[in-house]
């Protein structure tokens, strides 16, 4: 799987990147790591390995943001995510690897388009607080996109940004919500047989890189401009997303 030097180096880079993203900049961009791994592994293997590491990162970053979240907001998103995860399970069960590759690639490019639309004012942030039903819907979409590509950040962000939360409260909400979502996904992945001895072993080997990335992310949260970090993320997503879609359709 990843047990030769070039693949392990790529996996280690992807894992550190996921840790930095989740630890300091919200989970929205961390799914780029799954996109990177899906270039060289079967989609199920890439998703399974990254989920184990994302859960580890979640647990490592809970303490710095403990009780800094806004519970009503987090609760809405978590409740809404349950049917989304169930839908993802059903879709995964009836499709093949190429469909999952296409979905991962499409989520990668859509994330970049969404951020670009926001930056140029094509998709402005809601000026008033969105209703609770929007939070439930955002949670449902986040649950589904997170299940098939670990890309649950944007739907959740659309709702949370309308609430005008602080940077730290936003990050704390994100950590709490996706800790819950990822634990739900772990149960579903186990049911689907995505977790194997190889994925578990790969997770053990990569765990130190996940913790290093999470530690860097927490420190970088207050030190590194978000713009520089996300420019790198967008470039990675464009390259990996385009390649995954090309591989899926050819």
Model pLDDT for residues 131-160, shown as the tens digit of each residue: 888 889 989 988 998 898 887 777 887 788
3-state helix, strand, coil in the chain (%, to 5): 80, 0, 20
Distance CA 49, CA 206 (A): 9
pLDDT (average), residues 69-75? 87
Confidence (pLDDT) at 122:
66
Q: Is the pLDDT of residue 28 over 60?
A: no
CB distance 234 to 21 below 8 Å: no
**Tens of pLDDT along 6-23?**
778 888 888 887 777 766
Confidence (pLDDT) at 2:
55
Mean pLDDT of the chain: 81
Confidence (pLDDT) at 123:
61
Confidence (pLDDT) at 86:
95
Q: Is the pLDDT of residue 204 over 80?
A: yes
What SS3 class is residue 80?
helix
């Amino acid at each position: 799987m990843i047990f030769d030097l070039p693949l392990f180096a790529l996996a280690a880079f992807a894992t550190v990147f996921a840790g930095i993203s989740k630890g300091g900049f919200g989970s929205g961009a961390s799914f780029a790591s799954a996109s990177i791994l899906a270039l060289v592994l079967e989609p199920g293997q890439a998703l399974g390995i990254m989920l184990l590491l994302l859960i580890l990162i979640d647990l490592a970053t809970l303490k710095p943001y403990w009780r800094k979240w806004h519970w009503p907001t987090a609760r809405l998103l978590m409740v809404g995510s349950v049917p989304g995860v169930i839908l993802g399970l059903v879709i995964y069960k009836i499709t093949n690897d190429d469909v999952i590759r296409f979905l991962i690639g499409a989520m990668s490019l859509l994330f970049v388009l969404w951020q670009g639309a926001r930056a140029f004012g094509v998709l402005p942030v809601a000026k008033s607080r969105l209703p609770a039903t929007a939070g439930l819907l955002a949670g449902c979409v986040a649950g589904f996109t997170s299940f098939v590509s670990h890309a649950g950040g944007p739907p959740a962000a659309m709702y949370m940004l309308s609430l005008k939360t602080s940077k730290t409260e936003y990050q704390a909400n994100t950590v709490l919500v996706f800790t819950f979502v990822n634990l739900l996904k772990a149960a579903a992945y186990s049911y689907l047989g995505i977790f194997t001895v190889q994925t578990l072993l790969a997770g053990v080997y990569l765990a130190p890189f996940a913790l290093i990335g999470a530690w860097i992310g927490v420190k970088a949260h207050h030190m590194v401009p978000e713009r520089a970090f996300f420019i790198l993320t967008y470039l990675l997503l464009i390259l990996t997303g385009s390649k995954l879609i090309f591989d899926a359709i050819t």
